[in-house]
């Protein structure tokens, strides 16, 4: 299984390519919908990375992709501008997933 990135900017894609992650840059709704559909159909992709800006711009497409099945796992990542979520996001994820406060 491999990682695949859908990004809204070229810089994030280039950085991930340095780590061996393939992907593509999309800006418009139709292009993003088509890219998600291709990624879901590709059985080699185990984790689909999506930048936070794309996820915020098209939340319905991201939600539908998450509801389709178990693979690929869709993960939102910060882009080169940083994380737009609160600073204790990891602690919140642990609290939600496990039910303990760290």
For 12-21, how does the pLDDT look when each residue is reduced to its tens digit (9 = 90+)? Answer: 899 889 889 9
Query: Does residue 49 register a pLDDT over 60?
Result: yes
**Topology adopted by domain 2-98:** Rossmann fold (3.40.50)
pLDDT band at 102 (very low <50, low <70, confident <90, very high): low
- b/e 32-59 (16+ beta carbons within 10 angstroms → b): bbebbeebbeeeebebbbbbbbbbeebe
pLDDT band at 70 (very low <50, low <70, confident <90, very high): confident
- pLDDT for res 85: 58
What does pTM read for this prediction? 0.77
Q: Distance between CA atoms of 94 and 53, rounded to whole angstroms?
A: 23
Strands 45-51, 22-25: pairing kind: unpaired
Strands 73-77, 45-51: pairing kind: parallel
- pLDDT for res 71: 78
Q: Distance between CA atoms of 92 and 98, rounded to whole angstroms?
A: 10
Domain layout of the chain by residue ranges: 2-98
pLDDT band at 34 (very low <50, low <70, confident <90, very high): very high
- pLDDT for res 29: 94
């Amino acid at each position: 299984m491999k990682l695949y990135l859908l990004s809204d900017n070229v810089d994030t894609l280039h950085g991930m390519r340095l780590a061996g992650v393939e992907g593509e840059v999309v800006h418009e709704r139709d292009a993003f919908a088509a890219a998600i559909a291709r990624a879901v159909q590709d059985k080699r992709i185990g984790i689909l990375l999506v930048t936070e800006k794309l996820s915020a711009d098209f939340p319905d497409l991201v939600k539908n992709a998450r509801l389709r099945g178990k693979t690929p796992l869709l993960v939102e990542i910060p882009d080169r501008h940083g994380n737009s979520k609160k600073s204790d996001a990891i602690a919140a994820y642990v609290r939600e997933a496990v039910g303990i406060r760290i």
